[in-house]
């Protein structure tokens, strides 16, 4: 009887420990090496997508201290989504570091129900770790059918789904927060959103000005993302351009302010277009304006000199006329005296 009771208690506590392990989101190694304050999470935590839509989520981190290396495994339900790409985020690239990034596995058939994305990244040897918050990687998926899919950073049988190390290659304790995606029949349609930058900072006449609309966003027809097909530019000097490429180059001839208008066109989105304007100033380059200023100065100086000369000539002429008249009067008077 005592033996059966002991066996029962042993099985009970063993099962309880197993349940606790999988109910807690801590999945990092070497938990005793640093405070459990760092968190790796799916951002956004809840995502919506429509069937056949491609969407992305970030694997992000908060409260990192001296992060030198990361590794994560992300599981997803293949009945509703399939992974399409994994791209390194900017966090470990701090200070323009040349990082090592590798996709160990991207498999839509990891098992009968789930796919797996497995990636690692580290900073170069001798570099210090990175502190703070940021994006470790961006994972893109295609929504394939209606339903909900978990985006899991923890999975039964893989207690170390996330591994973090500092610049001394010591483990960093962390928590992990998974996410979800709901695949719907459709999302609300929306139009494209235009955006552009102008370079260089100072714009000169006769030199190329680059307009870059690469940051413009595509539209949606409710089920599919609609890319921008055309970028229509009005440069403010009666010149226009209709481009499929988001970058346009233009040259201005005169010094003045110009209102530049960009209209982006995504056929099939609702609405199909978006228009934005920006006012720019184009000036004459200093070394080019110098001769004009010099000539203006010379002409203005010559003009002043000419006015002064004419004034004195006319004054001298009047003085001579007055003296001649007075001389004639004296001569006339002498004839009658």
Alpha-carbon distances of 102 from 50, 116, 163, 188, rounded to whole Å = 30, 14, 15, 36
User: Tell me, what's the pLDDT at 37?
Assistant: 86
Residue 6: pLDDT over 50: no
- Of the residues 184, 206, 227, which one is the last residue of a structural domain? 184
The Cβ of residue 274 has, within 10 Å, a number of other Cβ atoms equal to 21
pLDDT class of 9 with cuts at 50, 70, 90: very low
Of 159, 144, 164, 20, the closest CA to residue 76 belongs to 144
Q: Are both 29 and 91 inside the same structural domain?
A: yes
What CATH number is given to the structural domain containing 267? 2.60.40.10
Domain span including residue 42? 24-184
Alpha helices (H) in the chain, listed in sequence order: 2-23, 286-335
Would you state the torsion angle of the CA atoms of residues 163, 165, 170, 174, taken in this order, to the nearest 10 degrees? -60
Do 153 and 269 lie in a common domain?
A: no
pLDDT tens string 311-328 = 556 666 665 666 666 666
31 & 174 share domain: yes
Predicted confidence (pLDDT) at residue 294 exceeds the cutoff of 80? no
Total tally of structural domains belonging to the chain? 2
Q: What is the mean pLDDT of the chain?
A: 83
Domain-terminating residue out of 286, 313, 328: 286
Express each pLDDT in 44-77 by its tens digit: 999 998 888 899 999 999 999 999 999 999 999 9
335 within some domain: no
Q: What angle do CA 192, 196, 200 make, to 5 degrees?
A: 170
pLDDT at position 331 over 90: no
220 and 178 co-located in one domain: no
In a domain, 334, yes or no: no
Indicate whether 273 pLDDT > 60: yes
Q: pTM for the whole thing?
A: 0.50
Question: Based on the domain organization, do 136 and 251 belong to the same domain?
Answer: no
> In the listed set 286, 314, 329, which residue is the last one of a domain according to the structure?
286
Q: Does the residue 296 lie in any domain?
A: no
> What percentage of residues in the chain have a pLDDT greater than 90?
64
User: Is residue 219 included in any domain, yes or no?
Assistant: yes
Q: Within this chain, do residues 174 and 46 fall inside the same structural domain, yes or no?
A: yes
CATH of the domain at 171: 2.60.40.680
Residues 202 and 96 placed together within one structural domain of the fold: no
Whether 39 is in a domain gets the answer yes
Confidence (pLDDT) at 25? 45
> Same domain for 167 and 31?
yes
* Range among 157-166, 301-310, 313-322 with highest mean pLDDT value: 157-166
52 and 28 co-located in one domain: yes
On whether residue 292 sits in a domain, the answer given is no
| Claim to verify: residue 172 and residue 266 sit in the same structural domain | no
Q: Does residue 203 lie within any of the structural domains?
A: yes
Instruction: Indicate whether 136 and 276 sit together in one domain.
Output: no
- Nearest CA to 148 out of 105, 178, 116 is that of 178
């Amino acid at each position: 009887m005592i033996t059966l009771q002991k066996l029962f208690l042993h099985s009970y506590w063993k099962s309880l420990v197993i349940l606790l392990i999988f109910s807690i989101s801590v999945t990092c190694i070497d938990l005793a090496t640093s405070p459990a304050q760092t968190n790796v999470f799916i951002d956004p935590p809840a995502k919506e997508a429509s069937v056949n839509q491609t969407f992305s989520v970030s694997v992000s981190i908060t409260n990192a201290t001296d992060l030198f290396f990361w590794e994560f495994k992300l599981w997803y339900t293949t009945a509703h989504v399939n992974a399409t790409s994994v791209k390194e985020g900017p966090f470990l690239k701090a200070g323009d570091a040349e990082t090592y990034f590798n996709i160990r596995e991207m498999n839509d058939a990891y098992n009968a129900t789930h796919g797996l994305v497995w990636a690692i990244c580290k900073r170069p040897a001798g570099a210090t770790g990175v502190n703070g918050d940021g994006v470790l990687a961006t994972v893109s998926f295609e929504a394939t059918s209606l339903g909900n899919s978990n985006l899991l950073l923890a999975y039964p049988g893989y207690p170390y789904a996330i591994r973090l190390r500092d610049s001394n290659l010591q483990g960093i304790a962390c928590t992990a927060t998974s996410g979800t995606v709901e695949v719907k029949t459709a999302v609300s349609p929306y139009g494209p959103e235009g955006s552009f930058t102008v370079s260089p900072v100072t714009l000169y006449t006769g030199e190329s000005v680059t307009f870059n609309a690469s940051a413009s966003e595509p539209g949606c027809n409710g089920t599919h993302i609609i890319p921008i097909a055309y970028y229509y530019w009005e440069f403010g000097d009666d010149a226009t351009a209709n481009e499929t490429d988001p970058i346009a180059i233009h040259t201005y001839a005169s010094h003045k302010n110009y209102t530049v208008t960009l209209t982006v066109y995504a056929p099939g989105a609702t609405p199909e277009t978006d228009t934005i304007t920006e006012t720019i100033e184009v000036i004459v380059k200093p070394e080019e304006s110098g001769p004009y200023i010099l000539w203006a100065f010379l002409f203005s100086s010559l003009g002043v000199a000419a006015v002064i000369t004419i004034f004195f000539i006319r004054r001298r002429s009047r003085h001579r006329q007055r003296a001649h008249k007075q001389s004639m009067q004296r001569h006339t008077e002498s004839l009658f005296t």
